[in-house]
């Protein structure tokens, strides 16, 4: 599982897709999510605006598994 460090409270699923080079532009997120299965914390997700916070996991079959983590030197309240 690859760790994705963020320096904000959250990122969106669309931002994660772009950050991991699964898509080349943010505009492709809606199309990608309509054509591919994506699971956030084990549940199917198709909203590009889904907020991902530290400790969330994203599984994109054939593309990888990702865990959201807090960037070094940053701190956020994580429930």
Q: Dihedral sign, CA of 24, 26, 47, 1? A: positive
Residue 54's CB is within 10 A of a number of other CB atoms, namely: 20
Query: Model pTM?
Result: 0.87
Condensed to tens digits (0 to 9), the pLDDT of residues 6-59 reads 999 999 999 999 999 999 988 899 999 999 999 999 999 999 999 999 999 999
Number of separate domains in the chain: 1
Q: Which domain holds residue 24?
A: 2-70
Which pLDDT does position 74 carry in this prediction?
A: 61
Look at residue 79 and tell me if it is in a domain. Answer: no
Look at residue 76 and tell me if it is in a domain. Answer: no
Condensed to tens digits (0 to 9), the pLDDT of residues 57-67 reads 999 999 999 99
Look at residue 28 and tell me if it is in a domain. Answer: yes
């Amino acid at each position: 599982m690859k760790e994705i460090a963020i320096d904000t409270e959250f990122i969106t699923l669309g931002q994660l897709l772009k950050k991991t080079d699964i898509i080349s532009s943010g505009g492709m997120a809606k199309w990608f999510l309509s054509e591919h299965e994506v699971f956030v914390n084990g549940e199917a997700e198709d909203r590009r605006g889904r907020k991902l916070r530290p400790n969330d996991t994203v599984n994109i079959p054939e593309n990888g598994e990702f865990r959201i983590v807090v960037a070094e030197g940053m701190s956020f309240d994580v429930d």
